[in-house]
Chain A
Amino acid sequence: MLQFKLVLLGDSSVGKSSIVHRFVKDTFDELRESTIGAAFLSQSITIHPNDGGEVKDVIIKFEIWDTAGQERYKSLAPMYYRNANAALVVYDITQEDSLQKARNWVDELKNKVGDDDLVIYLLGNKVDLCQESASTEPSPESNKGEDDEQKVRVISTEEAKQYAQEQGLLFREVSAKTGEGVKEIFQDIGEKLYDSKKDEILSKQNRQINGSNNGQVDIHLQRPSTNDPTSCCS
């Protein structure tokens, strides 16, 4: 089993927590251990990488760290994204400024984490709100209101996609409400991380198998903890 840490970033109203709740519930499987906590969730998936013609099953466990999206809690984020293998940066396709906020997170991750292996996934949430509204005229009032109401897309797929390409991010539009695209996010990340860590994983497995006759292999691929004993309140 491979284990990866994934951090969720995005403004407070974009529905980032709902995406992972949806994921953990939809992939619920009695045989697999999963956690749904206040702000920490974990779930495993199976990917089927093709290594030199041989397709195998690889179980990947995600530990998902949620962050508080309000502006005032922005400064706490580094405590959450340290040692992360992947980041989901979420915006709301019906909220004008939420993509800009997502961009700020991407910049911060690139500057502060400085790890080329960190997988960043840009996610446009709430496609369910405007799937049939393509023909209706955009009106400013319809931007406000409850979730059930039809809203108008203000961030085009092309705009976000182009930005993601420029920055080398994975990109997808999803709906936490209907579940559209949600499972795929985690498949994509799992495959991408497996791919980038393949050599490391295989050599670790070989070492472990040779080193002990214990068949069970658990590998934590979190980067070495930089937890510094004085990190609290410094």
Chain B
Amino acid sequence: MTEDKNGETLKEFDPLNRLEPSTNGNSNTDVVSMKDDADTQAAEETNANIFAQDTGDEEPFYDFQLFVKQLQSPEADPLVKYTKSFLRNFLAQRLLWTVSEEIKLINNFKSFIYDKFTLYEPFKSLDSSKTRNAQEGIEKLIMGKLYFRCFSPSLYESLQVSLDDEHMKDLNYDDTLLEKIEHYRFIKPVMLDIPETMPHAKLNKFVHLASTELSKINRFKSPRDKMVCVLNASKVIFGLLKHTKLEQNGADTFIPILIYCILKGQVRYLVSNVNYIERFRSSDFIRGEEEYYLSSLQAAINFIMNLTESSLTIENHKCFEEEYQNNSKQVAKEREEEEKKRKLEVPDELQSNGTLLKPLDEVTNIVISKFSELFSPIGEPTQEETLEPEQSKKEEDVTFLIKKIEENERKDTLETLQNMFPDMDPSLIEDVCIAKKSRIGPCVDALLSLSE
């Protein structure tokens, strides 16, 4: 932990220096001093066991808490240092990186650190699924720290200056999409070719559930967690297709319903979110089903961005025109009111004690932020002395908080599932919830196969 050793580590790892000099002119070569690595003294063992996650049969192994624990072992110290120095450099060298610079820096760092996994215990001797978990862990860790610099709406909110073209484009597209959604939110399912045989009440219920899942995308910072929201929303739509015996229609029905969900759900920053996932989720991880549903979401967004009257099935054009005008007036009125109290929603872990999609992800976020000394990009040595007493107190708070959040989450999942499967015995649903650790995706899968 000496200055020398730091110097050496940093020489070895210099993704930032690999970047071509930028014409952006915003560069600040005055790299923040590296003195504060002393605080790598690992945060004490967090009570990892309470988060231990069932590996599940359907999903790849994922346990962020395990990764954090591994990272805290003394042998992994160099990895912590690399990560810290990367984060520090990223945040300090410039306030504003262009999108392509961000992607390059983050990818370079990821491949650098993934490489280093092969050198240090405990990562060195992990099997392939645990190694993948560690790679996921790194991604979640660094993107959690860099979120406010990489997610376009947050970046804009925190800097309040005009951004580079690519980030700006995200914001403009978000606005365009929102505008389109508002102007076409009144349309009927049949206008999108959703089969008329689908009972409206059922459709509306599932569409509401799916867009609720999708809207959770703004609560999470890590690309993986955002991706899970997209997958869960897609699963709910699949549930609807199964319920109505239309699953063999495949994309012919899935895509229109997805579009309908977006129009009804009015989720903010969808374009920014999708682009963020595509940019910062390792492309090795966006495979198969993930890739399909992400592309479908992009396709649905594209459709809405280009939506005009002629892209819809309309029987009575005069009637449609009238509805369109009425809705537009309504939108204008709402806009006016909104203008007065317009504030950016950013994910705030501490506030979301309501409904949680994957409590464990959220919970680990809290743990990381509470014990952030270990990963704090810019250390605060003054807090160092009081670290230990502070910490045990924090630990109690965290445990309490986690319990509360988990409890709320369980209730919420149960309620959602009972809504989705009203004909099913509630106690059966509860059993499935317990067996599947209240994770909505696996729960829906299990209940669907039971209801067949």
Contact = CB atoms under 8 A, between A and B. Distances in A.
Contact of B251 (A18, A68, A227): A68
A123 B406 CA distance: 51
Interface of chain A: mostly helix, strand, loop or mixed: mixed
A42 B58 CA distance: 14
- Counting contact residues on chain A (CB < 8 A from B), the size range is 35 or more
A124 interface: no
B254 interface: yes
Interface in A11-41: 12, 16-18, 20-21, 35-40
Contact of B278 (A39, A40, A73, A227): A227
Interface residues of B, number: 48
A12 B252 contact: yes
Contacts of B283: 225, 227
Interface in A56-95: 63, 65-70, 72-73, 75-76, 79-80
Secondary structure of the B contact surface, majority rule: helix
Interface in A152-207: none
Interface string B262-291: 000000000100110011000100011100
A229 B275 contact: yes
Contacts of B241: 38
Contacts of B176: 233
A35 B288 contact: yes
A232 interface: yes
Contacts of B99: 229
Nearest to B252: A12
A220 B305 CA distance: 33
A80 B107 CA distance: 25
Contacts of B166: 229-230
Interface of B: 99-100, 103, 128, 166, 169, 173, 176-177, 193, 234-235, 237-238, 241, 247-252, 254-256, 271, 274-275, 278-279, 283, 287-289, 292-293, 295-296, 298-303, 305-306, 311-313
Given A17-B251, A232-B278, 12 more contacts: A39-B255, A39-B296, A40-B288, A66-B254, A68-B251, A72-B193, A73-B256, A76-B300, A76-B302, A232-B275, A233-B271, A233-B298
